[in-house]
Chain A
């Protein structure tokens, strides 16, 4: 398989995620965008593993998925509490520390 096409795909995924994070204001969409970015990054690791015939990349991807799951739990918890206590679901309204 052509390496550059694969890397372009992962880069494409990463930038889709980044665009979502940057453009959308809702917490949930941002979390989704971050997940997409994670996947893009993980895909790079897999591509690298395939390319160099090294299982380390696959292992790294598994770790990333686990960490992303754990991180997502925490983030979702924060988002839920934001919504419950502050009645906020939009990230731009989250500036209570600003004077």
Chain B
């Protein structure tokens, strides 16, 4: 098995390479099927790793590297070299499973969903390349390969957001996503350099050991941690840098499902979990992460409340849910962050793929106020979407999200300023229930408010949705609170990530009850408010402050982007025109022109002048010879 590790990220790369090189020779449908097959190979290999692993007993060794394969030496400088090698441990195994399995289901769904779209081959090329990027990111043994995967994901995200590039706004959204995440890319690149300068190593296990040895000065550690946080915030669309994700919804819905919900945006969470020994030593940074996470969970949930664009609701809910993961990372509950990541990947992929079908059924209409009444026409989709919405709302006891989100909220209470963190998280949970059910009710209940073109879903589209809906319900039962059911995930991960601190006794019960109450109140409020909103054409969707997401996009446009444009034009006018054109360029050309004029004047073609030169040269030579023969002694 160990020798086949390379095929896990390799198969999608082969698929991508084949499509880009020979795709035009075969039909687009074959390209699509082949792309899905390549991801299926990866997913099967990952699942077989699980099978092999669960057969073994010795999985409690701390930070055990389960599989390692060195492929070849990538570059070597002196006696330092970068090996292209892949490593699988428990954390990356979970991420690989999510990326390959959900990735395969989305590929399967896309075969029919993207049928006869313009640029179908391009779509599957980027999708396969993305799976390669994600898998090499999570399987990377060293930081260089990790960075490669990170950048490949960013590129594919850009290309797929701007998939319908004929519309200039969509291309703009792609650029926006690219530029904003670029901030994080730069931070990660600098972080890698600082890590290398301090640790003299880029291999992840070695770095973890060195951090545990506590021999690096804390200032460097804080710098590395801060840069990693910036990288994670940009990639995972957290509070100040979240602005790209709502605009990234211009891509196909399946792209939103794969990249902007299930996998890529969770790369930041994975990065922070990967460096958890570092953050364990820096409680101040942990508090910052927890605060950013809770604030984002609250803020994005409030923004999602009054979105009317279906996909923007889902985008803000993604931001909000990743906020919970950040909060979990910040309070040291890394296992729960991973657990919520898995659950979120399942139900958000489900919701996004269904939203693609819904939008097609309403003839490319995104506004949920103009939808309604889809429940009678497409009952299958209705129940699937209901499961997704309820899981997003974390309906107690039934849905997986309840088992993953509530422990996170409880864990936030153990931290400093725990009260505020928990309050933000609970308010976020309440609003999550409200907006998810508002979205569901507006689409499926009532009478149609615009024409419906029932979209016949093939079995290839229904199957992934069914699997994901099944997982959204059942996957929660692998980790139940208070030991009343199986507890599989957190103890299994404890050897790598440690056990999270959870409150005990009355506080635990209280927070859990509050979580249940928040979810139920949210759902109840939605059932009460949504019919009213539809009746009066006035309601949550009209709150401009929330609809504009606290005006953060507009503010950053006004206070960051516009000044930056001014700075650029100032640079253009002052530095380029004045300094370069007038000062530097004119002085250099002036010098050159003067120089060559004086030289060319000496070559005037006048023989008499040449004669003068000859004479003076001869005199000068003579003088020099005489001086050397009879030196002047002072």
Enumerate chain A interface residues (CB-CB to B < 8 A). Answer: 18, 21-22, 25, 91-92, 94-98
Contact = CB atoms under 8 A, between A and B. Distances in A.
A21 B430 CA distance: 107
Contacts of B615: 18, 22
Given A22-B612, A98-B605, 18 more contacts: A18-B615, A21-B611, A22-B611, A22-B615, A25-B608, A91-B607, A91-B608, A92-B606, A92-B607, A92-B608, A94-B605, A94-B607, A95-B604, A95-B605, A95-B606, A95-B607, A96-B605, A97-B605
A91 B603 CA distance: 15
Interface in B591-634: 603-608, 611-612, 615
Contacts of B607: 91-92, 94-95
B611 to A, nearest CB: 6
Contacts of B606: 92, 95
23 contacts: A18-B615, A21-B611, A22-B608, A22-B611, A22-B612, A22-B615, A25-B608, A91-B607, A91-B608, A92-B606, A92-B607, A92-B608, A94-B605, A94-B607, A95-B604, A95-B605, A95-B606, A95-B607, A96-B605, A97-B605, A98-B603, A98-B604, A98-B605
A24 to B, nearest CB: 9
Nearest to B609: A92
A36 to B, nearest CB: 15
B330 to A, nearest CB: 77
A22 B619 CA distance: 14
Q: A-side binding surface: helix, strand, loop or mixed?
A: loop
A91 B612 CA distance: 14
A72 B625 CA distance: 31
Instruction: Using C-beta atoms within 8 Å of the partner chain, give the interface range for chain B.
Output: under 10
Contacts of B612: 22
Contacts of B608: 22, 25, 91-92
Nearest to B612: A22
Nearest to B618: A18
A95 B605 CA distance: 5
Query: For A22, A25, A96, which residue has the most chain B Cβ atoms within 10 angstroms?
Result: A22
Contacts of A25: 608
A82 B105 CA distance: 94
A18 B608 CA distance: 11
Contacts of A97: 605
A22 B611 CA distance: 7
Nearest to B606: A92
A18 B615 CA distance: 9
A94 B604 CA distance: 11
B598 to A, nearest CB: 16
Query: For B604, B605, B611, B615, which residue has the most chain A Cβ atoms within 10 angstroms?
Result: B605
A22 to B, nearest CB: 6
B225 to A, nearest CB: 69
Interface string B395-420: 00000000000000000000000000
Interface string B357-387: 0000000000000000000000000000000
B224 to A, nearest CB: 65
A20 to B, nearest CB: 11
A25 B611 CA distance: 12
A96 B606 CA distance: 10
A76 B441 CA distance: 114
A95 B609 CA distance: 12
A33 to B, nearest CB: 10
A98 B602 CA distance: 11
Nearest to A18: B615
Contacts of B611: 21-22
A72 B608 CA distance: 19
A98 B604 CA distance: 7
A76 B288 CA distance: 98
B612 to A, nearest CB: 6
A22 B603 CA distance: 17
Interface in B77-134: none
A18 B619 CA distance: 12
A29 B430 CA distance: 112
B614 to A, nearest CB: 10
B617 to A, nearest CB: 13
A92 B604 CA distance: 10
B599 to A, nearest CB: 14
A95 B608 CA distance: 11
A82 B232 CA distance: 85
Contacts of A22: 608, 611-612, 615
Nearest to A98: B605
A7 B607 CA distance: 29
Contacts of B605: 94-98
Contacts of A94: 605, 607
B56 to A, nearest CB: 87
B606 to A, nearest CB: 6
Contacts of A91: 607-608
A25 B612 CA distance: 13
Nearest to A96: B605
B597 to A, nearest CB: 13
A98 B601 CA distance: 11
B301 to A, nearest CB: 79
A10 B80 CA distance: 77
Interface in B550-604: 603-604
A17 to B, nearest CB: 12
A4 B52 CA distance: 112
A34 to B, nearest CB: 10
A74 B604 CA distance: 25
Contacts of A95: 604-607
A86 B108 CA distance: 90
A91 B606 CA distance: 8
B506 to A, nearest CB: 101
A95 B606 CA distance: 6
Contacts of B603: 98
Nearest to A92: B606
B615 to A, nearest CB: 7
A71 B386 CA distance: 113
A29 to B, nearest CB: 12
Interface in B478-534: none
Contacts of A18: 615
Nearest to A23: B608
B49 to A, nearest CB: 79
A85 to B, nearest CB: 17
Query: When A and B form their complex, which 6 residue pairs have the shortest distance between CB atoms, in order from nearest?
Result: A98-B605, A95-B605, A91-B607, A92-B606, A22-B611, A91-B608
Contacts of A21: 611
A96 B612 CA distance: 20
Interface in B22-69: none
